[in-house]
Chain A
Amino acid sequence: MGATLFARADPLASAEEQRRRLGAAAPWVPFVQRMGESAMAPLRAIGVDVLQINVGKFCNQTCRHCHVDAGPERREQMSEETARLCVDVLAKNPIPTVDITGGAPELNANFRWIVEQARALGRRVIDRCNLSVLLLKPQADLAGFLAHHGVEVVASLPHYLASTTDAQRGAGAFARSIEALQLLNRLGYGVEGSSLVLTLVHNPAGAFLPPRQDALEAQYRRQLGRRHGIVFNRLYTITNLPISRFLQFLIESGNYEDYMQTLANSFNPSAASAAMCRRMISVGWDGSLYDCDFNQMLETPLRTGACRHIRDFDLSELQTRQIAMANHCYGCTAGAGSSCGGATT
């Protein structure tokens, strides 16, 4: 798989350049205006149920659709001090879910400590897992660790056939994914009667919207069960947002305008109302706070006053804050809606 935009010194490695491209005059109605026309602007948060912690951009893969531009060359990693601040926030605030993402979050030196502390506080813990990380020799005990602590594994698998998965995630990714899923099944993940939850994630491997979540889940179940004996609890479909490497793919392949127009034409006010940013806070590797992981990667700050860093976390301010919106938000509001928890309608 190719190197990161960062390593190639691609102009789109810059968040500012991405914001410029996304905000340029275009045939589609600007998202903020569309929300206004739907009487949904300003959009406000209605609580903080999820603290999503992005522990860094280092990853052992460089998937083509990655909105983080994660990869082996990235050195941005959450420090121990910042990880402690995150756990302090959890200890002081009734946030039920911790969602740990990256890069490959498991490769951060503080990942396991965060998991242990969050579970000790009785929180639901999600690990956004690329599956291949479970097979790395230095991580040989990782799957067992996750199972021991009852971590919910949310694992990317764009298709039940190798060709499409490898096209998105790199040669051999599918075979490694199957091996990792079989390992998780042996530990009890996704198995009927087990409390260990295994969720698969489908991102379309191209410039099109995902299918109906329930229909695709049924297809995944049939195919993964029949071909590989793999079981899982549920499937999320997640729309690719025009950010970072997916934005670069759209522009390079000549699909950018058509894809953005498709997203805009598929605008669904119900999906906007259920947008995940209304119930979460995203924490960056350096402790900065954002409305969501997408705003984080576009370096779009919160619209709140003082509360911009995890050390200043103020739940009363954040849970009713105004959300910072821009044209990439069409991705989460298209069709059945999209979020880190799959379709939203």
Chain B
Amino acid sequence: METYYKPQDLPRFGELARGNAELWDKFMAYYGAVFAEGALTEREKALIALAVAHAVQCPYCIDAYSHTCLEKGSNEEEMTEAVHVACAIRGGAALVHGVQMRSVVEKLAM
């Protein structure tokens, strides 16, 4: 069965350099700096990345950061809570726009 997403494509990410090496190098330098240990630990950043991956629903990032979180010492329990954080923010974002709905209803409805 054909599918848009194939797990074996994730390791091919580096091929994007072939289209523009300079931009690829700049992106990867930034990416590496973002995930380096700083005020937040590598583990904390990996959990944030996992949550964001679920919020933006990138299957490549979900695959990669599920691996990375385990390799940074996290576990299923912590990672599940991170996914719920993503869910709460995505859901909350939908819900809070309901305030705009309420503004319209309050203006138009009797």
Interface of A toward B, CB cutoff 8 Å = 159, 161, 163-164, 202, 204-206, 208-212, 215-216, 218-219
Contact = CB atoms under 8 A, between A and B. Distances in A.
B25 interface: no
Contacts of A161: 75, 77-78
Contact of B70 (A202, A204, A216, A218): A204
A163 B76 contact: yes
B76 A164 contact: yes
A219 B41 contact: yes
Interface residues of B, number: 13
B75 A164 contact: yes
A219 B42 CA distance: 11
Interface of B: 37, 41-43, 67, 70-73, 75-78
Contacts of A216: 73
A49 to B, nearest CB: 29
A202 B70 CA distance: 13
Contacts of A212: 42
Nearest to A205: B75
14 contacts: A159-B75, A163-B76, A205-B75, A208-B70, A208-B71, A211-B43, A211-B71, A215-B37, A215-B41, A215-B42, A215-B72, A219-B41, A219-B43, A219-B73
Contacts of B78: 161
A312 B70 CA distance: 45
A159 B74 CA distance: 9
A163 B78 CA distance: 10
Given A164-B76, A212-B42, 16 more contacts: A159-B73, A159-B75, A161-B75, A161-B78, A164-B75, A164-B77, A205-B75, A210-B71, A211-B43, A211-B71, A215-B43, A215-B72, A215-B73, A219-B41, A219-B43, A219-B73
A161 B74 CA distance: 10
A10 to B, nearest CB: 26
Contacts of B41: 215, 218-219
A140 to B, nearest CB: 33
B67 A208 contact: yes
A209 B41 CA distance: 18
A203 to B, nearest CB: 12
Contacts of B43: 211, 215, 219
Contacts of B77: 161, 163-164
Contacts of A215: 37, 41-43, 72-73
A210 B75 contact: no
Nearest to B41: A215
A311 B43 CA distance: 49
A209 B75 contact: no
B37 to A, nearest CB: 7
Contacts of B73: 159, 202, 210-211, 215-216, 219
Nearest to A204: B70
Nearest to B37: A215
Nearest to B80: A163
A296 to B, nearest CB: 28
Contacts of A218: 41
A163 B76 CA distance: 8
Nearest to A214: B37
A314 B76 CA distance: 49
